[in-house]
Homo-oligomer: A and B are copies of this chain.
C-alpha cells in the first residue's frame, strides 16, 4: 500500500527498533539514505541498525563514522533505494518478505514491501529522506547533511545526469549550509582515482569498439585483464560512463567479466534512447539513461545479441 510523508512520520514515531536495508553493491545513495535516516532516528532515541549484503567500500566509511552501533530485535524494517528484493542480496534475503516500508526513487520498483513511498521524480532517494527528516522535525546536523549531500551528488553524477533538478541543487545548497563539505565529498567520490583505476581507463580506451557508424561504443573487459590490473570490483564502476561520453555516441556499453563467462553490462544512453528498456530485454533494469544487466555465455554470442537489440533501435547494421 502506498503511504504519504505524514504516514511515514507517524510510522517512524510509533516504532522504536528499526532495521534499514540497503542494496547490494552499495552506492552513495542507498548508504546516504540509510545512514541519514538512521542518524535522524537515533537523535529521537530510537534503536537503528543499517544492514547491507556486501562489505561497505572504505570510501563510504565517512558516512557512518558517527552512527551508534546497537543490538536489538527489529520491530520495523525499512529499505532505502532498493528497487527489488533480489537487490537485497543473499545475506539479506531472509528479510525479503518482511520489509514494512520501502523508500525509493526507481520508477521500476517492484513494490515488494507492505508499504511504499516511491518518487521517481526524486533524483536520489536522499531527496525523499530529506523531506522525511524535515517532517520528523529533526534538526539536520553536519553528519546528516553529509549523508544527504553524498546521495544526491553520487546519484546525479555530481549534478551532471539528466535526473538533477533545481530541487536537487537547492537541497544540496542547504546541506552545505548545514556543514556538508561538498568539495571533500566530491573529491573522494569522483576525483580520486587509484593507479589501478587509471590503468583500467588506459586499457578501456585502448579497447573501445565502435559500431553503427560511431553511434554505439562498446568496451569489453575480461576477467583476466581486470585481474592483471588488480582492481577491486567496486573501483571499476567509473568506467561505465566512458563509452557514452565520446562525441557522436548515443549508446555506450561496458561489459565486465565478473566470473568466467558471466558479464555485468552497463548501458548508458543519450536522452533520446531508453537504457532501461534495452536492459529489461536482458532481465535487467535501471534508469532512462543509465541501466544494467547480468548476462552469461560466450562473449561473441553476447555481443551479437546486444547488437541485434541495438540494431532495432539505431537501425542498420553494426
Contact = CB atoms under 8 A, between A and B. Distances in A.
Interface of A: 153, 158-162, 164-167, 169-170, 172-174, 176-177, 182-183, 186-187, 190-195, 198-199, 201-202, 205-206, 208, 241, 244-247, 271
Contact of A201 (B192, B201, B244, B247): B201
Nearest to A196: B247
A83 to B, nearest CB: 22
A152 to B, nearest CB: 10
A183 B198 contact: no
B206 A202 contact: yes
A186 B191 CA distance: 16
Copies of this chain, complex-wide, total 2
A61 B170 CA distance: 29
A98 B208 CA distance: 52
B193 A246 contact: yes
A166 B172 CA distance: 8
A296 B149 CA distance: 44
B164 A174 contact: no
* Interface core residue of A165, A199, A245 (most chain B CB under 10 Å): A245
Contact of A245 (B153, B159, B191): B191
* Interface core residue of A176, A198, A202, A206 (most chain B CB under 10 Å): A198
Contacts of A169: 169-170, 172-173, 176
Contacts of A202: 201-202, 205-206
8 contacts: A158-B159, A158-B160, A161-B183, A162-B183, A169-B170, A193-B246, A193-B247, A199-B205
Closest 5 CB pairs of A and B: A169-B173, A166-B173, A166-B176, A202-B205, A162-B183
B193 A245 contact: yes
A165 B176 contact: yes
Nearest to A185: B160
A190 B191 CA distance: 13
Nearest to A174: B166
Nearest to A183: B162
A217 to B, nearest CB: 10
B183 A160 contact: yes
B159 A166 contact: no
B194 A246 contact: yes
B206 A182 contact: no
Contact of A173 (B173, B183, B191, B201): B173
